[in-house]
C-alpha cells in the first residue's frame, strides 16, 4: 500500500502527525509519502517512517505531476484546506480528511460555548486511518534529529545539564509572556536557563539574559530547529508557550510547564504524551471572559489589557517548573 499524507504547516502541527506516520508504517507496512511546504520539509525527512517527502515551493501545480505518477492507494489529508482539497481532486485517489472542528472553535472563540470534541487533535488525525484498519498504538509523538545536528553539551557555550529550556517564542504575540515577566520567572528558577527561539526572538532573549545575568543563556536565533530540539531533549524541564517546541518536548517525554494566553488547551493541542503519566502542567488565567480570543493568536491584545498573560503569576510559573524538577529527584 502506498499512502500520501498531507500537512503543509506548521512545526507543531507536523510533529503531531508523527503517530499517523508511525502507525501507517508499522501496522500496514505502507510506503508513506509526505507533502508539506519546503520550509518544513526538514522536520519530516529524518523520520524513518516516511519513505519520501514532497516539498511544496510556490506553485502547487508544479508538484501535481510527480504526485500523480505515484498512483497512491490512499491520500490522508491532515490539513484539510482549499489547497489540500485541490491536491485530492487532482490525484483522484481514495482520500480521507481530518475533522478540523472549525464550527466548534468558532463557537468557543466568539460565543464562549464549549462543544469542542473531547479528543486531542492527534486522535482526530488518526481517525482518518481507521478505515484502513489503523489504530493508535499508545506510543505518543516522534521527533528525529539528524546526527550532525545534535548539540554536544560539552562543546557549546550554554550550560551543561541540568537546566531549564525556556521556549520564549510564539508566532503570535498574544501567545507570549511579556519579556519583563519572562525575566521575573527566570529569576526564581532553581536551575540555569537556556532561552530558545528564532531570530525574531533574539533581541527579546538578549534583554532577558541581560536582566538576569549568567544564569540565563540566550540561544535564540543561534540554533537550527533540530539543534533547538536537541537542547530540549537534554533539558530537565521545558517551560514553553503554545508553540512548536512544546510538541517537540512532548515527543521527547520531557516534563513541561506550558503557558496559555489567547489560546486554550481545549482546542485539543496541549502536550501529547504516550499512554501513562501526564508530565504537563498547564498554566492559564481561569475565568477570563475574553479567552480564547482567537484559535491562533493576534499581534496585540484585542481588548488592549492583555490580562491573559499579564495576570499569570511569575512565582506560580517558577514554582511549577521547580516542582517538576524536584519530582525527577533534583
Q: How many separate helices (H) and strands (E) can be counted in the chain? A: 13, 11
Q: Where are the domains of the chain?
A: 2-132, 155-327
Dump the DSSP string for 41-110: HHHHTT-TT-SEEEEE-S-SHHHHHHHHHH--SEEEESS-SHHHHHHHHHHT--EEE----HHHHHIIII
The SS3 call for residue 25 is helix
| pLDDT less than 50: residues of the chain | none
Q: Topology of 2-132 in CATH?
A: Rossmann fold (3.40.50)
Residue 84 to residue 165: CA distance in whole angstroms: 35
Which pLDDT score, from 0 to 100, does residue 56 have? 94
Say which DSSP state 253 is in: T
- What is the Cα–Cα distance from 135 to 321, expressed in whole angstroms? 34
Per-residue pLDDT at 59: 83
Q: Cis omega before residue 162 (within 30°)?
A: yes
What is the predicted pLDDT for the residue at 58? 77
Choose among 135, 21, 143: nearest CA to 76: 21
* Half-sphere exposure (Cβ direction) of 137: Cα atoms closer than 13 Å: 16
Q: How far is CA 49 from the centre of its chain?
A: 19
* Residue 95: predicted pLDDT: 98
Q: What is the pTM of this model?
A: 0.97
How many C-beta neighbours within 10 Å does residue 277 have?
Answer: 9
Task: Name the helix (H) or strand (E) containing 61.
Answer: helix 61-70
Tell me the C-alpha distance between 326 and 330, whole Å.
5
Position of cell 529569576? 187
* Domain boundaries 155-327, corresponding CATH code: 3.40.50.2000
Report pLDDT for 330: 77
The pLDDT assigned to 154 comes to 87
pLDDT digits (tens, 9 = 90+) for 195-232: 999 999 999 999 999 999 999 999 999 999 999 999 99
Measured CA to CA, the distance from residue 322 to residue 190 in angstroms comes to 6
- Measuring CA to CA, which residue among 43, 44, 5, 46 is closest to residue 24? 5
Amino acid at each position: 500500500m502506498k499512502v500520501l499524507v498531507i500537512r503543509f504547516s506548521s512545526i507543531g502541527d507536523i510533529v503531531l502527525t508523527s503517530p499517523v506516520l508511525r502507525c501507517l508504517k508499522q501496522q500496514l507496512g505502507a510506503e508513506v509519502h509526505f507533502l508539506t511546504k519546503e520550509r518544513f520539509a526538514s522536520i519530516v525527512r529524518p523520520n524513518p517512517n516516511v519513505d519520501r517527502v514532497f516539498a511544496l515551493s510556490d506553485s502547487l501545480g508544479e508538484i501535481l505531476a510527480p504526485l500523480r505518477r505515484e498512483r497512491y492507494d490512499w491520500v490522508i489529508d491532515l490539513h484539510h484546506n482549499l489547497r489540500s482539497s485541490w491536491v485530492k481532486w487532482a490525484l483522484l485517489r481514495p482520500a480521507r480528511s481530518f475533522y478540523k472542528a472549525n464550527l466548534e472553535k468558532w463557537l468557543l472563540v466568539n460565543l464562549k460555548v464549549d462543544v469542542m470534541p473531547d479528543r486531542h487533535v492527534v486522535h482526530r488525525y488518526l481517525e482518518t486511518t481507521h478505515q484502513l484498519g489503523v489504530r493508535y498504538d499508545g506510543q505518543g509523538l516522534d521527533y528525529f534529529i539528524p546526527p550532525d545536528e545534535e548539540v554536544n553539551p560539552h562543546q557549546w557555550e550554554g550550560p551543561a545539564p541540568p537546566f531549564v529550556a525556556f521556549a520564549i517564542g510564539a508566532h503570535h504575540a498574544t501567545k507570549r509572556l511579556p519579556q519583563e515577566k519572562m525575566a521575573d520567572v527566570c529569576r526564581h528558577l532553581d536551575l540555569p536557563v537556556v532561552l530558545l527561539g528564532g531570530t525574531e526572538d533574539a533581541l527579546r532573549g538578549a534583554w532577558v539574559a541581560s536582566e538576569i545575568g549568567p544564569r540565563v543563556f540566550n540561544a535564540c536565533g543561534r540554533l537550527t530547529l533540530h539543534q533547538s530540539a536537541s537542547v530540549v531533549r537534554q533539558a530537565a524541564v521545558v517551560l514553553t508557550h503554545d508553540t512548536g517546541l512544546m510538541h517537540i518536548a512532548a515527543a521527547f517525554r520531557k516534563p513541561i510547564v506550558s503557558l496559555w494566553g489567547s489560546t486554550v488547551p481545549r482546542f485539543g493541542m496541549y502536550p501529547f504524551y504516550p499512554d501513562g503519566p501526564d508530565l504537563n502542567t498547564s498554566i492559564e488565567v481561569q475565568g477570563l471572559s475574553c479567552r480564547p480570543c482567537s484559535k491562533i493568536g493576534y499581534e496585540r491584545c484585542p481588548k488592549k489589557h492583555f490580562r491573559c498573560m499579564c495576570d499569570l503569576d511569575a512565582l506560580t510559573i517558577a514554582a511549577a517548573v521547580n516542582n517538576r524538577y524536584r519530582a525527577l529527584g533534583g
